[in-house]
Chains A and B, each alone.
Chain A
Amino acid sequence: AQSVTQLGSHVSVSEGALVLLRCNYSSSVPPYLFWYVQYPNQGLQLLLKYTTGATLVKGINGFEAEFKKSETSFHLTKPSAHMSDAAEYFCAVSDSHNQGGKLIFGQGTELSVKP
């Protein structure tokens, strides 16, 4: 069985500060890992994903994440927060064996950015 834990349901940073959103996963098979962003009253948009290959993946809007197998982590970072980054962020895992493309989501982390 797979699971995802996001540490911190709410994170607040100042504009220009580092953004760090934590995600740990559990998977008995090699995982595919994703970060999605949800702006208020909107659907989910893919930020970035890890499937195979390079463990540091870059996404849209200056975000990146590093897959660390030894730590079972896939933390999301951005060097300098912008007001427009305020949103809810979801980490998700799927089975690399492609069992119907099911995604298991974490609980979500709401990011606030202070001016």
Chain B
Amino acid sequence: NAGVTQTPKFQVLKTGQSMTLQCAQDMNHEYMSWYRQDPGMGLRLIHYSVGAGITDQGEVPNGYNVSRSTTEDFPLRLLSAAPSQTSVYFCASRPPQQETQYFGPGTRLLVL
């Protein structure tokens, strides 16, 4: 199993551009989540999904959209990038009967 994979590893955007951060898992996990990591703030939940077709907002959802058309994929869309969205983004997944979340390697995003 590849586990949780994220692409790209690093991206530079200009203010106002849009992009999609990809996340995929091959463990058939129903639960998937997106977090952002900022210095001194730990990881904060952006959006999460408990299964295909079901998504909900986390702590910091503004400026981000998600969809979950399949169990495997959970892309995160930035509609109009802002410098405040410069961060490291982590995707995570877990099966509903377990407590442990499995994290991807992260995407480092710089918005100029």
Contact = CB atoms under 8 A, between A and B. Distances in A.
Interface of A: 4, 6, 9, 32, 34, 36, 42-46, 49, 51, 90, 92, 94, 98, 100-108
A43 B107 CA distance: 10
A76 to B, nearest CB: 15
A46 B100 CA distance: 8
Contact of B50 (A42, A44, A100, A104): A100
B59 to A, nearest CB: 8
A108 B45 CA distance: 15
B42 A108 contact: yes
Contacts of B92: 103
B43 interface: yes
Given A43-B90, A43-B103, A43-B106, A101 B40 contact: no
5 contacts: A34-B100, A51-B99, A100-B48, A101-B48, A107-B40
| Interface majority SS (helix, strand, loop, mixed), chain B | strand
B26 interface: no
| Interface majority SS (helix, strand, loop, mixed), chain A | strand
Interface residues of B, number: 25
Given A100-B31, A100-B56, A103-B33, A9 B40 contact: yes
Nearest to B31: A101
A103 B90 contact: no
Nearest to A108: B42
Contacts of B106: 42-43
Nearest to B56: A100
A44 B56 CA distance: 23
Nearest to B102: A46
A43 B43 CA distance: 11
Nearest to B91: A43
B94 A101 contact: yes
Contacts of B50: 100-101
B105 A107 contact: no
B101 to A, nearest CB: 6
Contacts of B90: 43-44
